[in-house]
Amino acid sequence: PQLSEALGGPVFFAFISAVAFATILAVVAGLTISASASFAHDFYTNVLHHGKEHRPGEEVRVARIT
């Protein structure tokens, strides 16, 4: 942040800060989607249903709720 402020002033500093914030949001969103899909596939299917057949789309529904 100090280098961007020294090179480009407050406008460049704001731009670099916005890019960093957007990157953090993207990473958190990806981790959230990955965690819900992992829960739906691994825990729900294998632990709660013991690997048995379930209705089509039920795993997707659980992932959306998670």
Residue 1 — very low, low, confident or very high, per pLDDT cuts 50/70/90? low
Q: Is the pLDDT of residue 65 over 90?
A: no
Torsions phi, psi of 57, nearest 5?
Answer: 90, -10
Task: Give the DSSP letter string of 45-66.
Answer: IIIISTT----TTHHHHHHHH-
Query: What's the confidence (pLDDT) of residue 38?
Result: 86
pLDDT digits (tens, 9 = 90+) for 6-36: 888 888 888 888 999 999 999 999 999 998 8
User: Helix, strand, or coil here: 50?
Assistant: coil
Enter the pTM of the model: 0.64
